[in-house]
Amino acid sequence: MKYYWLALLGLAFFVSGCSEQNDLYTLQIEGRTMGTYYQIKLVEPQAKLPDGEALQSDIDHLLRQVNQEMSTYIPDSELSRFNQYREAQAFKLSPHLKQVIEAALQLSEDSQGAFDITVGPLVNLWGFGPDGRVEKRPDQQLLEATRAKVGYHNLHLQGDELSKDIPELYIDLSAIAKGHGVDRVAALLEQQGFANYMVDIGGELRLKGHNDNASAWRIAVEKPLAQQRAVQKIITPGDRGIATSGDYRNYFEQDGIRYSHTIDASTGMPIANHIVSVTVITDTSMMADAYATAFTVMGVEAAMAFAEKQQLAVYIIEKQGEQFVEHISAAFEPFVAQ
């Protein structure tokens, strides 16, 4: 194997070449976005590789757009402006924000509220949002007051106009926007004529074609351990999106009780089931991202019933005592590498 490193100031990408027979090379681009990393691998014959600096510039520009539309950490983002909006008339959305909110509201209905983009105030109250970590369980009176300000049914989307019944209603798209960003980058690559790629933003993926060995992309599902990195299962998803949701690294404990970062909007409380990891494969990373969160909230029995009914590829790891128990939907089984 040969490696060609491009040391360009301020950029993080390199080209690696494998397999002299097929002359395939990988252009790898790395950076930061949405509070996490991104990594893109693009596979082409050496003569067809794009200019890495120019492509990274395009990708960074696109991801800045996504953040400016959907981040709650940017005070003047489109989403932040809606959250601060107190007027009686509806708020007009840009096409991409409308697409994401429309998909989120539909999944909220389908999952009977297990997925809820208005749960943000509860996420913040429990210390898992922009306001930072808390050291103890919130006061019950404050918890109930916050619960009264959430609920996807208080949002109304008509065309490209969004309104809210509660002026303080606050949308948090962190469980779907990252996947949407992955899909936007994939669309950019396809617009530029590339057919073999892997896009990864913080563990949410979109794959197409093959790697530089001319083989299908193989993805490792991580073993849900907080103190070490290990592989639980290898999958070959084909030309699809993949997302994994897990609470084994983002939680706090008080008085021997573990509080997960995933909040059930119906109770206002962190989830109390034994799911530690959910992996979903769908056509888009956006929906894989959203489904993974919904299934984490639903619990094993309801999630697997939903997955089988909708023929969704879902893989759940549940902790029973000191053991990890796997639950695999029928649609997921063909993707498990043998």
Tokens of 303: 């999630």
Which range of 8-12, 42-46, 138-142, 303-307 scores highest in mean pLDDT? It is: 303-307
Label residue 119 by pLDDT band (50, 70, 90): very high
Evaluate whether residue 154 is within a structural domain: yes
96, part of any domain? yes
More confident residue, 250 or 146: 146
pTM: 0.89
DSSP 8-state code for residue 216: B
For residue 110, is it within any domain? yes
Residue 298 burial (C-beta neighbours within 10 Å; 0-12, 13-18, 19+): buried
Residue 126, domain CATH? 1.10.3980.10
pLDDT in tens, 184-240: 999 999 999 999 999 999 999 999 999 999 999 999 988 877 666 778 889 999 999
Question: What is the pLDDT of the chain when averaged over all its residues?
Answer: 87
Q: Which of 110, 103, 77 is nearest to 183 (CA)?
A: 103
Instruction: Judge whether 179 lies within some domain.
Output: no
For residue 7, the model assigns a pLDDT of 26
CA torsion angle 187 189 193 197 (round to 10): -110
Where do runs of H (alpha helix) occur along the chain?
Answer: 52-70, 78-84, 95-110, 120-125, 140-147, 177-191, 285-298, 300-310
Percent residues over pLDDT 90 in the chain: 67
Tell me which of 338 and 244 has the higher pLDDT. Answer: 244
Taking alpha carbons only, the member of 320, 336, 304, 330 closest to residue 231 is: 336
pLDDT level of residue 131 (50, 70, 90 thresholds): low
Backbone conformation region of residue 299, classed left if phi is above 0, alpha if psi is from -120 to 50, else beta: left
Residue 68 lies in a domain: no
Average pLDDT, integer, range 46-71: 95
Query: What mean pLDDT comes out for the span 141-155?
Result: 93
Give the mean pLDDT of 261-281: 85
Residue 45 included in any domain = no
pLDDT higher at 126 or 146? 146
Indicate the pLDDT class of residue 133, thresholds 50, 70 and 90.
low
Residues in the chain: 338
Cα separation, 83 vs 165, whole angstroms: 12
* Alpha carbons 219 and 75: distance in angstroms, whole number: 36
Q: For residue 219, which phi and psi values (nearest 5 degrees)?
A: -120, 135
Radius of gyration of the chain (CA): 21
8 Å CB contact between 294 and 275: no
Distance CA 14, CA 26 (A): 8
CA separation, residue 161 to residues 89, 110, 157 (Å): 9, 22, 6
Does residue 23 have a pLDDT over 70? yes
Q: How far apart are CA 268 and CA 120, in angstroms?
A: 11
Give the mean pLDDT of 17-41. Answer: 83
Could you give the number of structural domains in the chain? Answer: 1
Considering only residues 80 and 88, tell me which one the structure prediction assigns the higher pLDDT. 80
Tell me which residue range forms the domain holding 123: 86-164
User: 174-196, pLDDT tens digit by residue?
Assistant: 999 999 999 999 999 999 999 99
Q: Residue 206 has what pLDDT?
A: 97
The tally of CA atoms less than 13 A away on the side-chain side of residue 18 is: 9
Under the banding of pLDDT at 50, 70 and 90, the label for residue 138 is: confident
pLDDT number for residue 63:
98
Mean pLDDT over residues 290-310, rounded?
A: 96
Bridge partners, 222 (sequence order): 231
**Is residue 208 a part of any domain in this protein?**
no
In a domain, 204, yes or no: no
Question: What value does the mean pLDDT take over residues 41-56?
Answer: 93
The pLDDT of residue 243 is above 90: yes
* Residue 87: pLDDT over 60: yes
